[in-house]
């Protein structure tokens, strides 16, 4: 297994439950080597189903935040347009911090940290050859690429590469929001808050412990920042004054979400082609973003986890290993193709010349 994200760890954890040996090779030198990223909502019929297959649903329910499902939409002048709150017993899409999910999945797994894969060569006489950045080589009967958007395993089965969608996110964070920024804490509410303007959006999401992730989203060329007097994204002060200018005229409290941000990270959104498939290659397959990178509309990690759980169940049985992988791939391609279309259309409406499209999409997904 290459990659210790949601796909790889779910695959390994379900296999472990079936008493199958599996080794995860992960590029990061340690579980907490980099910030784990924002909160994830795990859907009842996707991520939660996968956790059920790993025997971890009860632990997830204890850790997750059902109140985090709350969603508020503001107009650019700060008027509240929608203020949706879950019922107390609603467990359809509770939120969990990525770090908590990672630790939950890690449990007893054998993860080799700091093992970056550089290349996978299928069908050698001894099996599938994996080259590591540290110069080592190993062979396996099955190599599963769950190494994310810029997968090093993918070239072994497919020539597809991620393409830029035309939408960039600039991500920042607020800490201890309830004590340090009580006004912003009230603005955000218990879950997420979004504001949609012309070709722009601003989304703030609560994580646990008063941590908030803020995503400024806008249509722009890939190199937009180089046109802003060579804006250095590592210079938080410069970003703090430049990025709010892209949201000119928006209400001051909304822009404060950016002005109070700590560090800033640029995340241009790339996607793989909708309905990405490949001619089956014995001994190698892909899961999660490596197989079907799509816009971040709340399903990528969910699909990655279902992929992991289903592949594990497919290969854990007594049947032929390669047949198990083939059957899984057909199932994954069909599911991912459906979601890739939905999320591509969703991104067009959420970061759109007509902000009413975003509100209409919310009303379709979350009728009050």
Ligand X SMILES: Cc1cc2nc3c(=O)[nH]c(=O)nc-3n(C[C@H](O)[C@H](O)[C@H](O)COP(=O)(O)OP(=O)(O)OC[C@H]3O[C@@H](n4cnc5c(N)ncnc54)[C@H](O)[C@@H]3O)c2cc1C
Residues that bind ligand X (CB under 6 A): 2-8, 25-28, 38, 40-41, 116-117, 146-148, 152, 169, 215, 267, 288-290, 296, 298-302, 304
What are the structure tokens assigned to 124, written together? 């050698």
By the 8 A CB rule, do 174 and 240 touch?
no
- Rg of the chain in Å (alpha carbons): 21
Task: Specify the residue, 41 or 97, whose C-beta has the smaller distance to ligand X.
Answer: 41
Q: How many residues does the chain have?
A: 368
Task: Specify the residue, 48 or 314, whose C-beta has the smaller distance to ligand X.
Answer: 48
Task: Specify the residue, 154 or 260, whose C-beta has the smaller distance to ligand X.
Answer: 154
Residues 6+ apart with CB under 8 A from 21: 110
Task: Specify the residue, 75 or 337, whose C-beta has the smaller distance to ligand X.
Answer: 337
Task: Specify the residue, 75 or 90, whose C-beta has the smaller distance to ligand X.
Answer: 90
289 is in an annotated binding site: yes
Least distance from C-beta 307 to ligand X, angstroms?
A: 8
Task: Specify the residue, 189 or 296, whose C-beta has the smaller distance to ligand X.
Answer: 296
- Which class for 332: exposed (0-12), middle (13-18), buried (19 or more C-beta within 10 A)? buried
206 is in an annotated binding site: no
CA distance 190 to 208: 10
User: Which is it for strands 192-197 and 71-74: parallel, antiparallel or unpaired?
Assistant: parallel
CA distance 134 to 116: 8
Least distance from C-beta 182 to ligand X, angstroms?
A: 25
By the 8 A CB rule, do 287 and 144 touch?
yes
Least distance from C-beta 203 to ligand X, angstroms?
A: 9
41 is in an annotated binding site: yes
Least distance from C-beta 95 to ligand X, angstroms?
A: 8
CA distance 58 to 69: 19
Least distance from C-beta 11 to ligand X, angstroms?
A: 9
CA distance 213 to 206: 7
Residues 6+ apart with CB under 8 A from 286: 144, 145, 146, 151, 153, 154, 157, 158
98 is in an annotated binding site: yes
Least distance from C-beta 173 to ligand X, angstroms?
A: 12
Q: Binding site membership for FAD: which residues? A: 41, 98, 289
Q: Binding site membership: which residues? A: 34, 41, 98, 289
Q: Binding site membership for NADPH: which residues? A: 34
């Amino acid at each position: 297994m290459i990659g210790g994200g949601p796909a790889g760890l779910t695959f390994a954890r379900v296999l472990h439950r079936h008493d199958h040996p599996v080794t995860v090779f992960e590029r990061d030198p340690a579980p907490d080597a980099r910030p784990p990223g924002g909160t994830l909502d795990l859907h009842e019929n996707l991520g939660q189903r996968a956790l059920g297959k790993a025997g971890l649903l009860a632990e997830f329910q204890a850790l997750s935040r059902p109140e985090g499902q709350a969603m508020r939409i503001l107009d650019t002048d700060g008027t509240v347009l929608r203020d949706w709150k879950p019922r107390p017993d609603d467990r359809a899409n509770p939120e969990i911090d990525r770090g908590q999910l990672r630790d939950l999945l890690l449990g007893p797994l054998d993860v080799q940290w700091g093992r970056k894969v550089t290349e996978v060569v299928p069908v050698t006489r001894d099996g599938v050859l994996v080259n590591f950045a540290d110069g080592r080589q190993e062979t396996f009967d099955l190599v599963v690429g769950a190494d994310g958007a810029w997968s090093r395993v993918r070239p072994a089965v497919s020539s597809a590469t991620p393409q830029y969608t035309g939408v960039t996110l600039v991500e920042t964070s607020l800490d201890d929001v309830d004590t340090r920024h009580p006004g912003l804490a009230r603005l955000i509410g218990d879950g997420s808050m979004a504001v949609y303007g012309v070709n722009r959006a601003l989304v703030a999401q609560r994580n646990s412990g008063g941590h908030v992730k803020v995503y400024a989203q806008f249509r722009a060329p890939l190199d937009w920042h180089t046109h802003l007097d060579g804006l250095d994204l590592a210079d938080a002060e410069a970003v703090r004054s430049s990025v709010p200018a892209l949201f000119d005229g928006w209400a001051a409290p909304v822009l404060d979400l950016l002005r109070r941000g700590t560090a800033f990270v640029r995340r241009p959104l790339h996607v793989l082609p909708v309905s990405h498939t490949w001619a089956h290659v014995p001994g190698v397959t892909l899961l999660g973003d490596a197989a079907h990178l799509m816009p971040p509309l709340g399903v990528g990690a969910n699909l990655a986890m279902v992929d992991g759980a289903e592949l594990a169940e497919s290969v854990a049985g007594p049947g032929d290993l390669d047949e198990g992988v083939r059957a899984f791939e057909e199932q994954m391609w069909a599911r991912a193709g459906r979601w890739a279309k939905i999320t591509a259309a969703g991104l067009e409406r959420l970061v759109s010349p007509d902000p009413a499209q975003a509100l209409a999409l919310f009303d379709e997904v979350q009728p009050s």
